[in-house]
Amino acid sequence: MLPQLVDQGLPGGGEFLVCDLGDQRRAAQIVALLVYHGFLPMGGMGMLLPKIHKARCILPPAKVHVGRKTRRRAKGFRMTVDTAWAVVVANIQEHTFTHHKGDCWLSDELATVYEAVQQLPEAERRNVSFHSVEIWHCESGNLAAGEIGYTCGSCYSSCTGFCLKDEYPGAGSAQLGALGRWLARCGYQLWDLGMELDYKIALGGVMVSRKEWADRVRQTRSDAVARLRPPAEDAESDVFSLLGGLEGEGLVHEGGSSGSRAPVAQPVVPAPSADAKSNSTTREDKGGEPLSTPSKKSKKKANLVASGAAQECLGSCEPAEVLVTGAGSAVVNGRYRLQRGARKGGRAVYTHAECSRYKVQYSTQAEVWMIDDTRGSAPYKAEGSNDFPTVPVGRLWAIYQGGLAPPPSLEASSGLCTNDGKHGDGSSSSMAL
31: domain CATH number? 3.40.630.70
Question: Is residue 260, in this structure, part of any structural domain at all?
Answer: no
- Regarding whether 233 and 327 lie in a shared domain, the answer is no
Estimate to the nearest angstrom the gap between the alpha carbon of 413 and the chain centroid: 21
Question: Is residue 268, in this structure, part of any structural domain at all?
Answer: no
Residue 406: asked if its preceding bond is cis (omega within 30°), the reply is yes
119 by Cβ neighbours in 10 Å (0-12 / 13-18 / 19+) ranks as exposed
Residues contacting residue 133 through CB under 8 Å, at least 6 positions apart: 79, 80, 81, 88, 146, 147, 148, 149, 161, 175, 179
The pLDDT of residue 159: 97
- Regarding whether 326 and 238 lie in a shared domain, the answer is no
| 383 neighbors 370 (Cβ within 8 angstroms) | no
- Regarding whether 169 and 20 lie in a shared domain, the answer is yes
- Averaged over 26-51, what is the pLDDT? 96
The pLDDT of residue 387: 67
Question: Is residue 383, in this structure, part of any structural domain at all?
Answer: yes
Domain end, chosen from 226, 252, 278, is at 252
- Averaged over 222-226, what is the pLDDT? 90
- Regarding whether 339 and 210 lie in a shared domain, the answer is no
Task: Return the higher-pLDDT residue of 259 and 362.
Answer: 362
Question: Is residue 429, in this structure, part of any structural domain at all?
Answer: no
Q: Within 75-170, where are the H helices?
A: 85-95, 108-117, 122-125
pTM for the full predicted model = 0.59
- Averaged over 158-178, what is the pLDDT? 96
Among 26-30, 207-211, 297-301, 309-313, where is mean pLDDT lowest? 309-313
- Regarding whether 350 and 232 lie in a shared domain, the answer is no
- Regarding whether 222 and 116 lie in a shared domain, the answer is yes
The pLDDT of residue 246: 56
Which H/E stretch holds residue 145? strand 143-152
Question: Is residue 297, in this structure, part of any structural domain at all?
Answer: no
- Regarding whether 198 and 95 lie in a shared domain, the answer is yes
The pLDDT of residue 171: 96
Quick one: which of 127, 128, 99, 95 has its CA closest to 113?
128
- Regarding whether 347 and 246 lie in a shared domain, the answer is no
The pLDDT of residue 251: 39
- Regarding whether 332 and 246 lie in a shared domain, the answer is no
Task: Return the higher-pLDDT residue of 219 and 357.
Answer: 219
Question: Is residue 60, in this structure, part of any structural domain at all?
Answer: yes
Residues contacting residue 404 through CB under 8 Å, at least 6 positions apart: 62, 184, 185, 327, 328, 329, 379
The pLDDT of residue 155: 97
What band does 357 get if pLDDT is binned at 50, 70 and 90? confident
Task: Return the higher-pLDDT residue of 219 and 269.
Answer: 219
Q: What percent of the chain has pLDDT over 90?
A: 58
- Averaged over 157-173, what is the pLDDT? 96
pLDDT digits (tens, 9 = 90+) for 326-344: 998 888 899 999 998 899 8
Task: Return the higher-pLDDT residue of 257 and 180.
Answer: 180
Domain end, chosen from 223, 252, 281, is at 252
Counted domains in the chain: 2
Which H/E stretch holds residue 33? helix 24-36
Task: Return the higher-pLDDT residue of 130 and 317.
Answer: 130
Among 177-191, 256-270, 364-378, where is mean pLDDT lowest? 256-270
Question: Is residue 70, in this structure, part of any structural domain at all?
Answer: yes
Check pLDDT > 60 for residue 259.
no
- Regarding whether 328 and 214 lie in a shared domain, the answer is no
- Averaged over 90-112, what is the pLDDT? 92
- Regarding whether 19 and 165 lie in a shared domain, the answer is yes
Domain that holds residue 326: 321-414
- Regarding whether 329 and 246 lie in a shared domain, the answer is no
Estimate to the nearest angstrom the gap between the alpha carbon of 256 and the chain centroid: 17
Domain end, chosen from 206, 235, 252, is at 252
Question: Is residue 87, in this structure, part of any structural domain at all?
Answer: yes
Q: In 45-92, at which residue ranges do the beta strands (DSSP E only) sit?
A: 47-51, 55-59, 66-67, 77-81
